[in-house]
């Protein structure tokens, strides 16, 4: 393999880099990833980040990256929450089972967040660390009444430092 000095020039205008498992795992940076991304930037390659984690806002994701030694700005990060929100028309009444990243993405899109199952036009789900039986009841009622459902990601479990914690897919399957 060529050394850094012998590496061929990079011929990409930009790259999109996944966060979990590429930049970090849990709360630890993947060794060498921050340096590799810094080299891409200094070679003039545009860098954006993507994650299927809908729990964090863009700012929270950028803050985490910076705390691990990465150069990152919120507007360089696309989350599954933003992707889901882009599928919903502004003004739509959304019942959300999910965390702040999902809620913020929907309100930034101009959607109205509702708590009443009967008034929801769309149900949007994501991982919710504060999931309760009552939220499941309201969500189930909304699912029966709402014409559309958006749920991302659908992973049921993901390996982590503490074993295999349940993920957002469990909420959908519940």
Give the chain's domains with CATH numbers. Answer: 13-79 (3.40.50.1000), 82-173 (3.40.50.1000)
Quick one: how far is CA 112 from the chain centroid? 20
Q: Between β-strands 46-51 and 122-125, what pairing exists: parallel, antiparallel or unpaired?
A: unpaired
Quick one: how far is CA 53 from the chain centroid? 3
pLDDT by residue (tens digit) across 35-47? 999 999 999 999 9
Average pLDDT on 112-129 reads 91
CA distance 20 to 86: 22
DSSP helix/strand/coil, 5: helix
Q: Which of 26, 63, 31, 49 is CA-nearest to residue 163?
A: 26
Predicted confidence band at 109 (pLDDT cuts at 50, 70, 90)?
very high
pLDDT by residue (tens digit) across 9-39? 667 889 999 999 999 999 999 999 999 999 9
Per-position b or e across 87-97, b if 16+ CB within 10 A of its CB: ebeeebebbbb
Of 41-45, 128-132, 162-166, give the lowest mean pLDDT range: 162-166
């Amino acid at each position: 393999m060529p050394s850094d000095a012998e590496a061929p020039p990079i011929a990409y205008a930009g790259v999109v880099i996944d966060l979990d498992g590429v930049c970090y795992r849990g709360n630890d940076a993947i060794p060498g990833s921050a340096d590799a991304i810094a080299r891409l930037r200094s070679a003039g390659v545009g860098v954006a980040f993507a994650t299927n984690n809908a729990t964090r806002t863009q700012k929270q994701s950028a803050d985490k990256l910076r705390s691990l030694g990465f150069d990152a700005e919120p507007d360089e990060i696309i989350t599954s929450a933003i992707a889901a929100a882009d599928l919903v028309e502004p003004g739509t009444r959304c019942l959300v089972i999910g965390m702040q990243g999902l809620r913020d993405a929907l309100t930034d899109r101009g959607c109205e967040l509702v708590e009443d199952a009967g008034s929801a036009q769309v149900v949007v789900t994501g991982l919710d660390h504060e999931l309760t039986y009552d939220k499941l009841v309201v969500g189930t009622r909304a699912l029966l009444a709402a014409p559309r459902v958006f749920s991302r990601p659908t992973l049921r479990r993901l390996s982590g430092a503490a074993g295999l914690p349940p993920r957002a897919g469990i909420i959908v399957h519940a």
